[in-house]
Structure 1
Amino acid sequence: MYLIYTVSIIILLISSLVMVIASILSKKTLTDREKSSPFECGFDPKSSSRLPFSLQFFLITIIFLIFDVEIALILPMILIINYSNLMIWMMTSLIFIIILLIGLYHEWNQGMLNWSN
């Protein structure tokens, strides 16, 4: 048991030491105007380098993340069907899927799924 604690402390110390050394070595001492420019090619930009992004792409990304997490939550439900009470499993699965369908209907009703705009 003490061996596990000792190894854990050694690993924690080594990783902390590596992070501190990397942080010290990666500090930039001089800020260069050319390195700070958005293009790094030697000329000054005529307009702003930051273009406004489409809110539609942002919403699609958020929807993708939500459904990605939902899939990660649904997959283990299939694996535990043999180890749990069937009635409790069905109620939990049904409630979860109903919540997902209500969210999908809300997104559809708000027009977030229209890609043609």
Structure 2
Amino acid sequence: MNPYLPILLILIFGLALGLGVSGVSLFLGPKKPNSSKLEVYECGLPVTSSAENRFSIKFYLTAILFILFDIETIFMYLWSTAFDYLGWFGIVEVGIFIATLSIGYIYVLKRGALRWD
């Protein structure tokens, strides 16, 4: 017996279940479209086209910085679990990684990306 057969069966079952539930919803779901249901919904705010009501780019920048430092934490955890195996190469690698992140962090601080004015 092929050892990958259970994985293939789970993938086929998941795909069939997802398509089946979507198909049942498509056929049995309510179909009463009106103008308010077809309107764009944006966080409960009325739709506007003016630039003054848009979100600040700092929200997105903060999210990107969070992801960056989250990835740094994951990398540091993986590095610490393989510390004995990597030896000096691992120490140099993490030193370069931390130096690069420190330069990026200093750049972000100088640009004022973490200030909430």
Normalising by structure 2, we get a TM-score of 0.74
Asked if 1:105 corresponds to 2:106, the answer is: yes
Return the structure number with greater relative CO, CA threshold 8 A, min gap 6: 2
Q: 2:73 aligns with which of 48, 71, 74?
A: 71
1:2-81 paired onto structure 2 within 5 Å:
2=2, 4-27=3-26, 29-37=31-39, 38=41, 48=47, 51-81=53-83
2:101 is aligned with what amino acid? Answer: L
- 1:75 deviates by 1.2
The two structures, once aligned, show a CA RMSD in angstroms of 2.6
Please list the CA deviations of residues 16-74 of structure 1 after superposition, one character each: whole Å capped at 9, or x if unmatched: 210111221233644233434549xxxxx9x5368411222221111111111111111
**CA offsets, 1:50-107, max 9 Å, x none?**
841122222111111111111111111111112222x212111100101101111111
Q: CA deviation at 1:5?
A: 3.6
Aligned to 1:83, the other structure's residue is in SS state helix
Q: Which range moved further: 53-62 or 29-38?
A: 29-38
Gaps of 5+ in 1: 40-44
Instruction: Return the alpha-carbon distance in structure 1 between the equivalents of residues 21 and 106 of structure 2.
Output: 48
SS of residue matched to 2:47: coil
SS in 2 for 1:35: coil
Superposition pairs for residues 83-102 of structure 1, below 5 Å?
83-85=85-87, 87-102=88-103
Q: 1:36 to 1:49 in 2, by over 3 A?
A: farther
- Segments of 5+ residues of structure 2 without an aligned counterpart are none
Change (3 A) 1:78 1:15: same
